[in-house]
Amino acid sequence: MIKPGDVIPYLKMCQEEGGINLQRGMNFRLRGGFSIILMSLRPDAPYADEVINEGKTLIYEGHNIRKTKGAPDPKSVDQPSQYPGGSITENGLFYNKAEEFKKNEKDAEIVKVYEKIRKGIWVYNGLFKLVDAWIKSDGKRNVFNFKLEVTQYEEEQEEKYIADLDHNRIIPSQIKYEVWVRDSGKCVKCESEDNLHYDHILPYSKGGSSLVAENIQILCARHNLAKSNKIE
- 187-207 per-position pLDDT tens digit: 999 999 989 999 988 877 777
Question: Looking at residue 207, what is its pLDDT?
Answer: 78
| 44 Cβ neighbours under 8 A, 6+ residues apart | none
Contact yes or no for 148/129 (Cβ under 8 A): yes
Tell me the CATH number for domain 6-163: 2.30.280.10
Q: In angstroms, rounded to a whole number, what is the distance separating the alpha carbons of residues 197 and 190?
A: 13
The span from the first CA to the last CA of the chain, in angstroms, equals: 26
Q: In angstroms, rounded to a whole number, what is the distance separating the alpha carbons of residues 83 and 88?
A: 6
The whole-number average pLDDT for the span 129-150 is 95
Q: In angstroms, rounded to a whole number, what is the distance separating the alpha carbons of residues 105 and 102?
A: 8
Could you read off the pLDDT of 66-110 as tens digits, one per residue?
888 888 899 999 999 999 899 999 999 999 999 999 999 999 999
Question: Looking at residue 32, what is its pLDDT?
Answer: 80
- The reported pTM is 0.84
Q: Is the pLDDT of residue 230 over 80?
A: no
Element (DSSP H or E) covering residue 92? helix 90-102
Torsional class of 84: left (φ above 0), alpha (ψ -120 to 50), beta (otherwise): alpha
- Give 228: exposed, middle or buried? Use CB within 10 Å, 0-12, 13-18, 19+: exposed
Q: In angstroms, rounded to a whole number, what is the distance separating the alpha carbons of residues 50 and 116?
A: 13
Residue limits of CATH 2.30.280.10 in the chain = 6-163
Could you read off the pLDDT of 25-82 as tens digits, one per residue?
999 999 888 999 999 988 888 899 998 887 889 999 999 998 888 888 999 999 999 9
Q: In angstroms, rounded to a whole number, what is the distance separating the alpha carbons of residues 147 and 140?
A: 22
Band of residue 164 on the pLDDT scale cut at 50, 70, 90: very low
Q: In angstroms, rounded to a whole number, what is the distance separating the alpha carbons of residues 18 and 44?
A: 28
Q: In angstroms, rounded to a whole number, what is the distance separating the alpha carbons of residues 144 and 147?
A: 10
